Structure 1
Amino acid sequence: MINVGSRRLTVTDFEKVLYHGEPVGLEEGAQQNVSANYTFLQAYAQHKVIYGINTGLGPMAQYKISEDDQRQLQYNLIRSHSAGAGQPFAEELARATMLARLNSLMQATSGIHPSVVELLRDVLNSGVSPYIPERGGVGASGDLVQLAHLALNLIGEGEMYADQAWRPTRVVLGSRGMTPISVHLREGLALMNGTSAMTGVGMVNLVQARQVLSLSIILSAMTNELMKSFDDHFSLELNHVKHHPGQAHIAERMRHVLSDSKLIRKRPEHLYHRKIEEAVFTDKVQEYYSLRCVPQILGPIYDTFLEVQRVLEDEVNSANDNPVVDHHREMVYHGGNFHGDYVSLAMDKLKIVTTKLTMLAERQLNYLLNDKLNQKLPPFINLGTLGLNFGLQGMQFMATSSTAENQTLSFPMYLHSISNNNDNQDIVSMGCNAALMTRRVLDNSADVLVVQALALTQAVDYLQCQPRMSSFTLKLYTELRALVPAILEDKPRYEDIRTVRRYLLGLGASFNL
């Protein structure tokens, strides 16, 4: 069980809850702290001006709200901002948003009634998902629109995804013995005024980023292996003289994948320890950059992944709403902890480096498919009849298209602010947009890696080099061939792409990155 409130949550914790069915609990001491925080605010708020309790919201904060209308204000806020559009969040994104919001509220600085964290825990453990639309938030006063839809579900309104269908929330909660929350003080604002949607999506992105980076290391190593590259470009001796930890790490992972390969060549054996007579070398002295510079290309991607993970884990373990209620100091602090710039910038960084990873995979794929470049394989690694059959030609179009889309999507959302909310929110983060675009870039990247993996299996079939492959790459080849037979005849391949994608993402998840 993941006990929220007992320690910092990590990406691994999110992965366990979202993909492995790990239940969520509430740490007792943190729960008591939430209750104490609420009790303090309830007493402290009497006869004071506190934003979002007895004032209007946003640019209407100058208007006093009577005591009789204060609860209605919270309901009005939730309902009016449940105004998103577009596709609903995928289940794992909606559940990640709930877990992120729960962890933020368990920091006990939000002034919410304890029933809120209890219901969030119960909904997470029931396996149902709130309806949260993709479009709506600007990521500055938090993910207001996305989190309003979550809050709408928690008050028993809107829709939830349960039993493979969208159903009325009150029916879903009632059928599982759960009761919607009631507003006590500031539950609407406390649920909405935070970065939990962008952060939840970001945590899911990190899970997938780890998978695609692992796959890129494996497939880059295998590409070098089948092309009989020299081993010095991923050697310890070459890479330790460049003082970037990511580069050294990628080179070490490549050495791990290829540790017992008999195809990788030693440069001294071929070029140093014999007299060279020919005037024009038939052997390439150095490989193309997409083969030779893998540690230098994937290294900064790995370092960026670690940086983004640190930022996202800091954010998900933070109090990120406004105002901050400090019952220990007996004070309420107004500010902007809901602003999503940290997450927005981190997602843009992850998006940019994922696009570079995709570009590397696409170039390696092009090298494998172009017989004039590799001089070892038939065009498009066509194992059928040249001219009559097409090999991987159709798949390459998809990979090229996906790479181009990633390049276009990689303009940073962090730099795209539009003033809104009567200019109250005059500079915003667009953090949820950044996170969702990063998810799309990661999805595209996975599809490009699928085509590269299929090309490599075709290359093994043509070269008949199985006895000389490393044990790691031979296992990969064998498992892929069990899923998809050699491509000889022309037939639709989209189902093969889906099948191989599922397998590869599982492999990426299990690889010790």
Structure 2
Amino acid sequence: MVVLGSKVLSLEEVHRVLFEGEELVLDEAAVKNVNDNFEFLKNFSSKKLIYGINTGFGPMAQYRIPEEDTFQLQYNLIRSHSSGAGKCLAPVLTKSLMIARLSSFMQGFSGVHTDLVYLLRDMINHNIYPCIYEHGGVGASGDLVQLAHLAHALIGEGNVLYEDEIHPAAVIFAQLDLKPLDVHIREGLAVINGTSAMTGIALVNIIEARKLLLWSCSLSAMINEVVEAFDDHLSHELNVVKRHNGQNKVAEMMRGMLQGSKMIRHRPDHLYKELEEEIFKDKVQEYYSLRCVPQILGPIYDTLVHAENIVVGELNSVSDNPVVDHRAKNVFHGGNFHGDYISLEMDKVKIAMTKLSMLSERQLNYLLNDKLNHKFPPFMNLGKLGFNFGMQGVQFTATSTVAENQTLSFPMYIHSIPNNNDNQDIVSMGCNAAQMTYKVIENTFEVLTVQVMTLLQAVDYLNCQERLAGFSHKIYQDIRAIFPKFIEDAPRYADVQKIKAYLMRHEPSLTEPAVEKKPKSSPVQ
């Protein structure tokens, strides 16, 4: 079980709930704190003007709402803002979003009734996914539209995805003996006024981006093997004089991956001796896409470390407005709903993943272009040249997908459009940034899929399986189990789908090269 409320919630704990089916439980002391906060607000708000309790919202806040209409006000807010468009978010993103919103409430500064935190917990544990649409949030005043669709389900009026089918929330609640949420004071505003949509998506992005980095390191090590590159560009001695943690971590990982390889070459054995040739057949130094991997993936490593720190910080923050502080016996108005922290980090992660896909595409091009590698047949064609086509067709998919990544990488953080009668005059576009990053990550898995297909064909062309490092050989065996060697031409789209799914479900590890993260009850990807 993952306990929420007793301490800071970690990315690993979120991973366990999302992908390993672990149950989320609420710390009872934290629930009591939530209740104390609610009771304070109930007493404090009497005869006081407090935003979103007895006022309108946004630029309509100057209008006082009569006491008899305050409950209806919350329902009006939820219904009016349930106005998203586009596709529904993937279930894994919706579940992560709910975890993020619940984490914010469990800090005890939102003035919400405990009914809300218990119902959110139950929806998470029962894998009930509100239908939340991708378009709508501008990332200031929170992810208003996306979170309104969460609230719409909570009050039993919206639709939910349950066991792969869409149903009215009220039907599923009745089936599972769950009571829809009743508004007590400010539950409508509390649910929609926060950064939890962008944060939930960002959490999944960090998890998947870390996996992509490990796969990129693995495939980069493997390509260095199959082309029999020299090993000094990965050496501790070369990298340690560049004082960047990420570069040194990547080089260290790749050295570990290449342990036991009979293909990687030691430069002194070949070039540091008297030579008579005027022109060398072998390149003295490899192309940048092989030789500069630590320098290229190193900044990506460091970017993900920093992004994780920011995103997990947001996960454990209070993103409401106003903030209800029962210890200070006051209600504070401000802008904790503003999503700039997440927006900026997601743009950086998006750019980093695009660069990772670009590295993969260049390594792929090197393998497929016989005029560059002088080692393999054109397009890694194991059949009859001119008659068969090898990996020629699949390369187009990788190239076009990288091009899409490059276009998607324009930053959302600097793309503010004032709206809401200029009340929201500068916004973060954080939810857009997080969703575009999710798309770039998904694209990048496709690019690496084509790369690994080509690498396996290269291994078979060289018949070098037994000369590979144990790490590379295990990857070769595991993926060959779902993608056999091919010579004759055939449609490859099904292979791309299978291998992409494999890469997304597995995580390379030096102790166990491809460990499947088997969910007990995972959301649909």
> Is TM-score (shorter-chain normalized) higher than 0.5?
yes
Is 2:403 aligned against 1:404? yes
Instruction: State the secondary structure of the residue aligned to 1:387.
Output: coil
For structure 1, which segment, 228-237 or 483-492, has the greater mean C-alpha deviation from structure 2 after superposition?
Answer: 483-492
Cα distance, 1:510–1:85 mapped onto 2, change above 3 Å: farther
1:510 CA drift (Å): 5.1
Amino acid at match of 2:235: S
In 2: Cα distance, 1:420 partner to 1:9 partner? 34
CA contact (8 A) 1:215 1:507 kept: no
Residue matched to 2:108: 108
Instruction: State the secondary structure of the residue aligned to 1:325.
Output: strand
Q: TM-score, normalised by structure 2?
A: 0.97
Is 2:127 aligned against 1:119? no
Residue matched to 1:505: 504
Is 2:2 aligned against 1:17? no
Amino acid at match of 1:189: L
Cα distance, 1:501–1:61 mapped onto 2, change above 3 Å: same
Amino acid at match of 1:430: M
1:7 CA drift (Å): 1.1
In 2: Cα distance, 1:329 partner to 1:375 partner? 72
Instruction: State the secondary structure of the residue aligned to 2:86.
Output: strand
Amino acid at match of 1:148: A
For structure 1, which segment, 328-337 or 497-506, has the greater mean C-alpha deviation from structure 2 after superposition?
Answer: 497-506
In 2: Cα distance, 1:509 partner to 1:46 partner? 57
Residue matched to 1:466: 465
CA contact (8 A) 1:210 1:508 kept: no
Residue matched to 1:209: 209
Residue matched to 1:296: 295
Residue matched to 2:517: none
Amino acid at match of 2:225: E
In 2: Cα distance, 1:407 partner to 1:333 partner? 42
In 1: Cα distance, 2:112 partner to 2:230 partner? 62
Residue matched to 1:220: 220
Is 2:221 aligned against 1:246? no
Correspondence 1:354-393 to 2 at 5 A: 354-393=353-392
Residue matched to 1:79: 79
CA contact (8 A) 2:303 2:352 kept: yes
Correspondence 1:43-442 to 2 at 5 A: 43-272=43-272, 274-442=273-441
1:509 CA drift (Å): 6.1
Residue matched to 1:495: 494
In 2: Cα distance, 1:51 partner to 1:201 partner? 28
CA contact (8 A) 1:230 1:264 kept: yes
1:163 CA drift (Å): 2.3
Is 2:52 aligned against 1:28? no
- Percent of aligned positions with the same letter in both sequences? 58
In 1: Cα distance, 2:35 partner to 2:505 partner? 41
Q: Please list the CA deviations of residues 134-167 of structure 1 after superposition, one character each: whole Å capped at 9, or x if unmatched.
A: 0000000000000000000000011000122100
In 1: Cα distance, 2:466 partner to 2:57 partner? 70
Instruction: State the secondary structure of the residue aligned to 1:16.
Output: helix
Cα distance, 1:510–1:111 mapped onto 2, change above 3 Å: farther
For structure 1, which segment, 500-509 or 414-423, has the greater mean C-alpha deviation from structure 2 after superposition?
Answer: 500-509
Amino acid at match of 1:377: F
1:283 CA drift (Å): 1.5
1:506 CA drift (Å): 3.0
CA contact (8 A) 2:247 2:298 kept: yes
Residue matched to 1:477: 476
CA contact (8 A) 1:214 1:511 kept: no
Instruction: State the secondary structure of the residue aligned to 1:483.
Output: coil
Amino acid at match of 1:470: A
CA contact (8 A) 2:257 2:510 kept: no
Instruction: State the secondary structure of the residue aligned to 1:134.
Output: strand
CA contact (8 A) 1:37 1:326 kept: yes
Instruction: State the secondary structure of the residue aligned to 2:167.
Output: strand
Amino acid at match of 1:110: S
In 2: Cα distance, 1:163 partner to 1:344 partner? 32
Residue matched to 2:518: none
CA contact (8 A) 2:225 2:264 kept: yes
In 1: Cα distance, 2:486 partner to 2:507 partner? 24
In 2: Cα distance, 1:133 partner to 1:164 partner? 17
In 2: Cα distance, 1:58 partner to 1:444 partner? 37
Instruction: State the secondary structure of the residue aligned to 1:415.
Output: coil
Give me the CA root mean square deviation.
1.0
CA contact (8 A) 2:104 2:319 kept: yes
1:207 CA drift (Å): 1.1
In 1: Cα distance, 2:286 partner to 2:509 partner? 30
Gaps of at least 5 residues in structure 1 are none
In 1: Cα distance, 2:84 partner to 2:51 partner? 24
Amino acid at match of 2:364: L
CA contact (8 A) 1:419 1:427 kept: yes
In 2: Cα distance, 1:169 partner to 1:354 partner? 36
In 2: Cα distance, 1:477 partner to 1:437 partner? 32
CA contact (8 A) 2:338 2:428 kept: yes
Cα distance, 1:439–1:511 mapped onto 2, change above 3 Å: farther
Q: TM-score, normalised by structure 1?
A: 0.99
In 1: Cα distance, 2:281 partner to 2:200 partner? 53
In 1: Cα distance, 2:130 partner to 2:504 partner? 26
CA contact (8 A) 2:471 2:510 kept: no
Instruction: State the secondary structure of the residue aligned to 1:414.
Output: coil
Instruction: State the secondary structure of the residue aligned to 1:170.
Output: helix
In 1: Cα distance, 2:97 partner to 2:479 partner? 34
1:46 CA drift (Å): 0.7
1:505 CA drift (Å): 2.4
In 1: Cα distance, 2:65 partner to 2:12 partner? 43
In 2: Cα distance, 1:296 partner to 1:315 partner? 29
Q: Please list the CA deviations of residues 92-147 of structure 1 after superposition, one character each: whole Å capped at 9, or x if unmatched.
A: 01111111000000000000011000000011111111110000000000000000
CA contact (8 A) 1:55 1:61 kept: yes
Instruction: Report the count of equivalent residues.
Output: 512
Residue matched to 1:39: 39
Amino acid at match of 1:195: T
Amino acid at match of 2:371: K
CA contact (8 A) 1:34 1:109 kept: yes
